[in-house]
Amino acid sequence: MMRHKTIIQVILLSLSMGILTGCKEKAINPEDDIPLFKGFIEENIDKVADDPYISSTLRPDDEMYEVLLDLQRGIPWDDKIQQRFSKLMSKGNEHAMIIKARSGLLNIEKRSYWASVLTDLMEKGNPYAAYWLSSKSNICHMYLGSRNLGNKVAKDLGLDTSYENKYCTEAIYQKAVEGFKNLAAQGDLRAQYFLLKDKGLDKSVEKREEYIKEIIRFAESHYYKPLMDYLHTLKKPSRRGLEFRTKEFRELGLDLYRVASNNYYTPAMSILMAYETDNHTLYNRMKQSGGRYYFWAMAIDRSDELTEKEKYCHAVLFEKIYKDIDFYGFDSGWPEKGDYDESICNIDKEIAEMKPMIYIDYFTKSDNWGQG
C-alpha cells in the first residue's frame, strides 16, 4: 500500500512539474508576428506619401507646432522662445502651460508654483497634467517626491514645500487614465496607445495577435511610435549599438522602416539611412524633413561626395536650423567657421523648402526632446 502511495505521489509531482514547466515556457514568440505584418507591408511598401506632414504630430498651422519643433531640435531656450510660451499661456493653451510647468519643476524656487499650475489643470480634467503628477511620472518622483533631497534644501531656504506627499500617487494616475479614456473615445491615437500599454496588451501572450493588429491599425493612420517601440523589442545590444536578433527580424524591421520612411517619419528614416547609405532618395527626403541625422550621415558616410564649399554650406545650414556649430572643422577635411562667406550657400532658400515633421508629443520625456 505504501509503495502504491509513493508511486501516486511521484506521478502527481511529475504532472505538477510538467504543468509548471509548461507555464514557465509559455512566452511571447515574435517569430509568430511576422506573417501578421505580411499584408500591411505588401500593401504599403511601395507607396510614397505626397504630404510631408502626414506622420507629423502637428502641422504648421497649429499654434504649438513651432514650440514642439524647437523642443525636438533641442534649441536652447531664449527670449524669443520664452515670449512664445508666454503668449500661448496667456491665451490659456494648456499644452504650453504643462510643458512650461514640467521644465519649471527643475527650479527649486518655483517648484511649488509650477506644481500648483499642474494641479489646477489636473482638477480641470487635463489627463496630461494628471499623468505628470502621478506615480508613473519620472519628474514627479524626481522633484515632488518625499524622498527628493532638494526638498530639504528648499525647507532650509524657507521655501514652500507643501507639495510633499501630495503627488506621485496611484490615485492620480487613475485620474489620468480616466481622462485618456475620454480622449481615446474621441479618436485620439496617442491616448489609445497609452491605454493599450496600461492594460499590458504589449506584454500579453494570449492577446499577442490583437496587439500586433493594433500596431498595424496605428501605422495605417500614420502614427508610427507604436511600431517603433515594437521593433525595438526585436533587437539586442551589440558592439555597434542595437541590432536585430535574427535575419528574419531584420528583414521585417527594414520593410517596416521603409513603410514609415515613405511617410516622412524621421525616426524611421534615421535608422534606415544606416542600412541604405547609397539611397539618395531617402537622404533627400530626410533633408526635406529637416532631420538631424541627415547632417551626421552626410558628414560620416558621404562626405567624399561634397566639395569643400558644399561642406561649409552643410555646416552653415545645420547652424541655422539647430543653433549649433558641430560641422565647422568636423574633421581635417572640413572648413572652419569664417573660411567662406555665407552668401555662397543660399541657406534661406534651402530652409524655406524644408517641411519639418514633428515626432515628439506630449508624452515624450524631456530628456528625449532634443533628439531630432
Q: Which residues pair with 235 in a beta bridge?
A: 244
* DSSP codes of every residue in 194-257: HHHHHTTGGG-STTHHHHHHHHHHHHHTT--HHHHHHHHTTEEEETTEEEESSHHHHHHHHHHH
Is 165 a member of any domain? no
Mean pLDDT rounded to a whole number for the chain: 90
Is 274 a member of any domain? yes
Q: Confidence band (pLDDT; 50, 70, 90) for 258? A: very high
Q: What is the pLDDT of residues 307-357, one digit of tens each?
A: 999 999 999 999 999 999 999 999 999 999 999 999 999 999 999 999 999
CA distance 199 to 202: 8
* DSSP codes of every residue in 2-68: HHHHHHHHHHHHHHHHHHHHHHHH----GGGGHHHHHHHHHHHTT---S-TTTT-SS-TTSTTHHHH
Judge whether 263 and 56 are in contact, CB under 8 Å.
no
Number of domains the chain contains: 1
- Determine the average pLDDT of the residues in 126-132: 98
CA distance 231 to 252: 9
Q: What is the pLDDT of residues 136-173, one digit of tens each?
A: 999 999 999 877 666 666 666 666 666 667 899 999 99
Is 196 a member of any domain? no
Reduced to 3 DSSP states, what percent helix, strand and coil does the chain have, rounded to the nearest 5? 60, 5, 35
Measured between alpha carbons, how far is residue 2 from residues 10, 15, 38, 218 in Å? 12, 20, 59, 63
Is 262 a member of any domain? no
Is 341 a member of any domain? yes
Q: What is the pLDDT of residues 76-120, one digit of tens each?
A: 888 888 899 999 999 999 999 999 999 999 988 899 999 999 999
Is 167 a member of any domain? no
* Domain membership of residue 312 as a residue range: 267-353
Q: What is the pLDDT of residues 197-247, one digit of tens each?
A: 999 999 999 999 999 999 999 999 999 999 999 999 999 999 888 999 999
pTM here?
0.89
Is 294 a member of any domain? yes
